[in-house]
Amino acid sequence: MQLLPPTLCRPRHVDRERLRVQLGTTQFQRLRYHEAAVVSSAPMKFQLVALTDDSMLVLPLTGGGGACCIPLRTLSAVARVVPATQKQRALLLLPTSQLFRLQLEASELFFATFEPHTQLFFQLSRASLVLDLASARDDQQRSRLLDELTVAASSSAELQQLFFENRTPLEGCVGLAAFLVQQLTRSLLPEGSSESQLTFLLSSMRVFGAMCFDASSQTRFLDTLSLEELVSHVLARGADCYAVNGLKPPRMSMRILREELLDAQAALLLALDAMQQHEDFRLYQQQIQLDLLHEQTVSVAQLALRAPALATWLSKFFKRICIAVSRVATAIERRQDEQEASSSRSRSTTESQQALSLWRNVSVLELLVEGDAISNDKQVLALLLHRRKDYIK
């Protein structure tokens, strides 16, 4: 069976059966992305770069030859580069071609793309990021990697799908989402805990919030998140952070981290609640079409109300809301007193962020109160009256 060469109109056209034969059935089933490229290790032949969750495969698009398998764990860096030699410039076949370098353990490879809308760099860098995150043992390094992922999520519509669909085999779990849920099971102990641990927790909450925000098309992956377990651990870690160095007056940086962590938790809980509602509506429509009895699911708020750490977390969360309300009121008064345009502009962004965080926090509290009313437990109001009477007054 003849394998067609790549063309500009169909650069990724590959006969699936030929690809299955060359890769083998197991590798073919694990294939998640492939794209034609020019590789420096080959004598100017088009190569197919295929990615699985843990490997990169390079095989010729024309002629015979087997696939070269490169484990992703051997990739130490993926970077776009400017061609520095005649050989590297020769790899660029089109004005739109991009050149990037893959640094391996003992060598390097140069790849040149020719697809107008290439995803190769994006796919490779994200695949290596998952393994980098899993192999990192330093909380600061892990936080940096997660922050990069959070920033990228704001400009990439595909990253949410990659986040949930990732099936990279990691220690004790499969996939990036499951790995981060697993990391949230780590308790913060008063002794030996540090700001770096809180920073990593904050980064984890933020990346979850970014990936789950407006993720109505990804609701089928809610089971991957182990929703009940995730909500329970989110509240537990929020309660734990106040036990870190609890015998000492907290530094200002620690106070800010705690507040930001509670704000990030609220954003995540709202995003999860929206995903749950979208999934409930999808299932409801499906059951109506099949004339089945609609099964009522447990909401995110009800899962939070069941969490063992609810009492401690709710006390700190309500205090955070009250402090935020007082700060917003103070900011409004200060803004009325100050008339300088420059200072007004510099404050507007900060005040908007504070107002958005306050809205999220109040929305989460409202969800908890409504969920409490549905179950008729009245534990939210009872807990607040018992533990936060000082702020209620």
Do 249 and 384 fall into the same domain?
yes
Condensed to tens digits (0 to 9), the pLDDT of residues 76-130 reads 777 788 988 888 888 888 888 888 888 887 788 888 887 777 777 667 766 666 7
More confident residue, 391 or 227: 227
User: Given pLDDT bands bounded at 50, 70 and 90, which one contains residue 363?
Assistant: very high
Are residue 111 and residue 191 in the same domain, yes or no?
no
Q: Which of 67, 101, 123 is the last residue of a domain?
A: 123
Are both 176 and 234 inside the same structural domain? yes
Number of domains in the chain: 2
Residues 231 and 376 in one domain: yes
Q: Is residue 387 in a domain?
A: yes
User: Which of 62-71, 278-287, 306-315, 368-377 is least confident?
Assistant: 62-71
Mean of the pLDDT values across residues 11-29?
69
Same domain flag for 74 and 152: no
Q: How far apart are CA 327 and CA 158, in angstroms?
A: 38
Residues 48 and 157 in one domain: no
Could you say which of 123, 150, 170 is where a domain stops?
A: 123
A 10 A CB-CB count for 9 gives 6
Considering the domain boundaries, does residue 10 fall inside one? Answer: no
Query: CA 330, CA 271: separation in Å to the nearest integer?
Result: 29
Residue partners of 104: CB distance under 8 A and separation at least 6 = 70, 74, 75, 76
Instruction: With CA atoms as reference, report the closest residue to 371 among 293, 282, 307.
Output: 307
Domain annotation covers residue 212: yes
The verdict on residue 128 lying in a domain is no
Report the pLDDT averaged over residues 227-245. 84
Q: What is the DSSP string of 122-166?
A: HHHHHHHHHHHHHH---HHHHHHHHHHHHHHHTT-SSHHHHHHH-
| Residue 47's CATH number | 2.30.29.30
* Residue 6 located in a structural domain: no
Is 66 among the domain residues? yes
Question: What distance in Å separates the CA atoms of residue 42 and residue 375, rounded to the nearest whole number?
Answer: 66
Q: Which is more confidently placed, 222 or 338?
A: 222
Domain assignment of residue 254, given as a range: 136-292+299-338+353-392
pTM over 0.75: no
Distance CA 74, CA 81 (A): 20
Q: Are residues 149 and 113 in the same domain?
A: no
Q: Which residue has the tokens 């160095």?
A: 245
Q: Which residues, at least 6 apart from 251, have a Cβ–Cβ distance to it below 8 Å?
A: none
Q: Are residues 219 and 89 both part of a single domain?
A: no
DSSP characters for 8-37? SSSTT---HHHHHHHH-HHHHHH--EEEEE
Both 92 and 173 in one domain: the answer is: no
Instruction: Name residue 321's amino acid.
Output: I
Q: Are residues 232 and 141 in the same domain?
A: yes
| 174, pLDDT greater than 60 | yes
Shared domain for 274 and 178, answered yes or no, is yes
Among 123, 149, 178, give the residue marking a domain's end.
Answer: 123
Residues in the chain: 393
140-150: pLDDT as tens digits: 888 988 888 88
List, as own/partner pairs, every contact residues 92-97 make where C-beta atoms lie below 8 angstroms and the sequence separation is at least 24, other chains included. 93/38, 97/38
Quick check: 368 and 374 in contact, CB under 8 A?
no
* Among the listed residues 335, 383, 315, 329, the one whose alpha carbon sits nearest the alpha carbon of residue 358: 329
Residue 228's Cα: distance from chain center in Å?
18
Ordered alpha helix ranges (H), the chain? 16-23, 25-30, 86-90, 120-135, 139-153, 159-165, 176-183, 195-212, 222-225, 227-240, 252-289, 300-306, 310-337, 341-375, 379-387, 389-392
For residue 352, the tally of other CB atoms under 10 A from its CB is 10
Coil, helix or strand for 305? helix
Rounded to whole angstroms, how far apart are CA atoms 49 and 238?
43
The answer to whether position 5 is within a domain reads: no
Q: Are residues 203 and 308 in the same domain?
A: yes
Instruction: Tell me whether residue 23 is in a domain.
Output: yes
Phi, psi of 162 (to 5 degrees): -65, -40
